[in-house]
DNA sequence: ATGAAAGCGCTAACAA
DNA sequence: TTGTTAGCGCTTTCAT
């Protein structure tokens, strides 16, 4: 590994000081009244020696790394993968880079990752929190560490967040089902179930039923553990789909659940939408290609990412206008296909 | 943003030197013969003051960042998303973190990202290269910068790489099609078409036909531009699927292509496998859920990620045994479903 | 068994 | 218009 050119190398080659070179290369030449000619010589020599600033040294000095951290549950999940991409692009547009990590929905891993990212002096953090790590988050807030939650938020706290409007979107989905004539609607929800993305969707479901004067039946709500979705669906789904109180429609609260349900419905030999209707919160490619197409609530994933970055960078650069709202709900969209009858 | 505890803070609080504290906290206490008791006091104080080492400072001093870079075409693509996850996990297991970026299959962006990652003093790089940036790669090699290519390799060069065995996998796929009675097989390939992942698959296709004494027809090969897949498929696919020389089977050279073809086949109102068979290189969830199930060549994505990390870290830490092979082909697996008749 | 001092490469306050 | 100096927080050599 060959040694790289440093400021000092340029300074020495030119017989000037590091300071001068630093100023010029940081575009502060004019502002500090440095000779046009000297400036040109500096630039030329920098190019000649293929100078690249050492970001570590700069960070050490300035206390800023121009890097932000992003923690999601699982970067290989389509929803988060798209989100990561949006965050990456939005950050790049403003000259920041992104360190990604997956928490696997585990609070302890989340905390370790927060720690490691801070160790690396990220300037701020976008976090899809497990919500079981309140302590860790409080610590960040206490230290006034720039933080924006994404996808989920902490109820009754002032922490900044960007999320889809899960409540409204969910309500719309259930209304749609009702309009299509469904009254007994089974809900597949994920545990941990205190995730606001989930609780808000459940609340939307309940309110939609209530508004239509349909009683909410607890046994229609299935809770599926995050780390064992397919097997658990296989075991639980038949309970919902058989017997005389069986549901006529299934509402999956995220894409993983919908996908797993789809598989199981197929392997039970049932037909959508005749034997059972299916609607999903969160739209993925699969649903448009499947036949019949699966009706789904589409989340503004890219917008969420972009918005979160804007919020975070404004915090970091203290550009926040006093009236900037930093708890934002983005609208969802119902994509109607053929899975609801 | 509150100031964090530094080595000096601990040293002062304890009335000892930074050196001592550093040694103890790096586990070199015994090796340097430091009092058990002193060591305990250091640890206690470190915990008390919630000391976290400043990685930038350490990196600046040691020239190592314990971070590796990963550049793929698009992190929101399922194939790369899974790969990223594998890389993340494998790196974490050895105490490294990962900086991800998407090159969008553009050589210039690739080069910028390489630059920025090096600026950040990543200790090494895993790169799914566009292959149009040979210069940049040569520069890395010349600087002896630790580098492992993934998914694609540079023909006739000694650069380390990890890839699926695209040739063998492709041959197997086409053999399968032939065995199912198909003779006229349309191939959907992506451009840029010099990607070895693609050329190797094409080569496998050609050789499989040849071995079966089936003539290779150029007009059966469709080239679809990376950045305009769906529209291009819509326009081109009918050419393959109509007329008297129409193909009876379609072989998509990656999951994007297969997905787009699937959409278009549906919208043309054709049935799989009766009207046309479909096989895909690279297996994704969608294919197992779709009915009929889509037969696909499954790539060992996780293994590829893991393997690449191992190779890279061995390079970085110069642990490479002399006989370690650093050009590795990993076997694929044909997942037979119902899309080929 | 412990410490002093140098230095990684950079920037910023202050001099000249 | 340019240079000097002092660190940022850490590790490491060399003293003691």
pLDDT digits (tens, 9 = 90+) for A67-123: 999 999 999 999 999 999 999 999 999 989 888 899 999 999 999 899 888 878 889
Residue nearest to nucleotide C6 (CA to C1'): B61
Contacts of A119 in chain B (CB under 8 A): 52-55
State the Cα–Cα distance between residues A339 and B11, nearest whole angstrom.
67
- Which of B2, B55, B116 has the CB atom closest to A119's CB atom? B55
Q: What is the pTM of this model?
A: 0.88
| Structure-token match 């292509």, residue found | B257
Min CA distance, A123 vs chain B (Å)? 10
Nucleotides of C under 7 A from a protein CB: 1-13
The reported pLDDT for the residue numbered B120 is 80
State the Cα–Cα distance between residues B187 and B196, nearest whole angstrom.
16
For residue A227, the Cα-to-chain-centroid distance in whole angstroms is 19
Distance in Å, residue B32 CA to nucleotide D15 C1': 15
Tokens representing residue A190 in the block: 């994920």
Listed in sequence order, the residues at least 6 apart from A334 whose beta carbon sits closer than 8 Å to its beta carbon are A169, A172, A173, A176, A295, A296, A297, A298
The reported pLDDT for the residue numbered B81 is 94
Per-residue pLDDT tens digits for B221-238: 999 998 899 999 999 999
Point out the nucleotide closest to B33 (alpha carbon to C1′): C1
Please state whether strand C lies within 7 Å of residue A59 at its CB atom.
Answer: no
Instruction: Using the predicted structure, report yes or no on whether residue A322 has a pLDDT greater than 60.
Output: no
For residue A299, the Cα-to-chain-centroid distance in whole angstroms is 11
State the Cα–Cα distance between residues B310 and B307, nearest whole angstrom.
5
The reported pLDDT for the residue numbered A147 is 95
Point out the nucleotide closest to A58 (alpha carbon to C1′): C10
- What residue of B is the nearest CA neighbor of A262? B289
State the Cα–Cα distance between residues B317 and B329, nearest whole angstrom.
23
State the Cα–Cα distance between residues A117 and A127, nearest whole angstrom.
11
Tokens representing residue A95 in the block: 């000259």
**pLDDT of chain B, 341 residues: tens digit per residue:** 567 889 989 998 999 988 999 999 988 888 888 889 999 999 999 999 988 888 888 888 888 888 999 999 999 999 999 999 999 999 999 988 888 899 999 999 999 899 888 878 789 999 999 999 999 999 899 888 899 999 999 999 999 999 999 999 999 999 999 999 999 999 999 987 789 999 999 999 999 999 999 999 999 999 999 889 999 999 999 999 988 889 999 999 999 999 999 999 988 999 999 999 999 999 998 899 888 999 999 999 999 999 999 999 999 887 665 567 899 999 999 999 999 98
Backbone angles phi, psi at B6, to 5 degrees: -115, 170
Contacts of B116 in chain A (CB under 8 A): 97
**Inter-chain contact A119–B54, Cβ cutoff 8 Å?**
yes
Distance in Å, residue A202 CA to nucleotide C9 C1': 54
Residue nearest to nucleotide D1 (CA to C1'): A34
The reported pLDDT for the residue numbered A156 is 92
Q: How many CA atoms lie within 13 A of B244 on its CB side?
A: 0
Closest CA to B136 of B106, B112, B101: B112
Distance in Å, residue A149 CA to nucleotide D6 C1': 39
Q: How many CA atoms lie within 13 A of A272 on its CB side?
A: 28
Residue nearest to nucleotide D12 (CA to C1'): B19
């Amino acid at each position: 590994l060959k040694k790289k050119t440093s400021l000092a190398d340029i300074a020495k080659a030119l017989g000037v000081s590091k300071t001068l070179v630093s100023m010029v290369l940081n575009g502060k030449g004019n502002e500090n009244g440095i000779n046009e000619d000297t400036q040109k010589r500096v630039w030329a020599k920098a190019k000649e020696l293929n100078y690249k600033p050492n970001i570590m040294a700069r960070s050490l000095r300035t206390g800023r790394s121009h890097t932000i951290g992003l923690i999601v549950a699982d970067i290989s999940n389509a929803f988060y993968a798209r989100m990561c991409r949006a965050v990456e692009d939005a950050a790049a547009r403003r000259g920041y880079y992104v360190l990604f990590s997956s928490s696997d929905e585990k609070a302890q891993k989340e905390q370790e990752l927060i720690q490691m990212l801070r160790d690396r002096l990220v300037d701020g953090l976008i976090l899809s929190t497990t919500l079981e790590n309140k302590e860790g988050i409080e610590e960040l807030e206490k230290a006034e560490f720039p933080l924006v939650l994404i996808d989920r938020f902490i109820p009754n706290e002032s922490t900044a967040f960007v999320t889809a409007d899960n409540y409204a979107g969910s309500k719309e989905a259930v209304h749609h089902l009702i309009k299509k004539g469904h009254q007994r609607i089974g809900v597949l929800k994920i545990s941990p179930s205190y995730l606001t993305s989930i609780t808000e969707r459940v609340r939307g479901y309940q309110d939609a039923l209530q508004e239509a004067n349909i009683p909410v039946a607890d046994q229609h709500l299935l809770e599926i553990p995050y780390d064992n979705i397919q097997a658990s669906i296989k075991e639980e789904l038949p309970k919902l789909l058989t017997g005389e109180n069986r549901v006529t429609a299934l509402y999956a609260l995220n894409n993983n659940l919908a996908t797993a349900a789809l598989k199981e419905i197929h392997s039970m030999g049932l037909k959508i939408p005749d034997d059972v209707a299916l609607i999903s919160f969160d739209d993925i490619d699969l649903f448009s290609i499947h036949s019949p197409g699966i009706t789904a609530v589409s989340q503004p994933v890219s917008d969420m990412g972009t918005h979160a970055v804007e919020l975070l960078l404004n915090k970091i650069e203290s550009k926040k206008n006093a009236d900037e709202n930093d708890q934002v709900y983005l609208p969802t969209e119902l994509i109607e296909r053929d899975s609801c009858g």
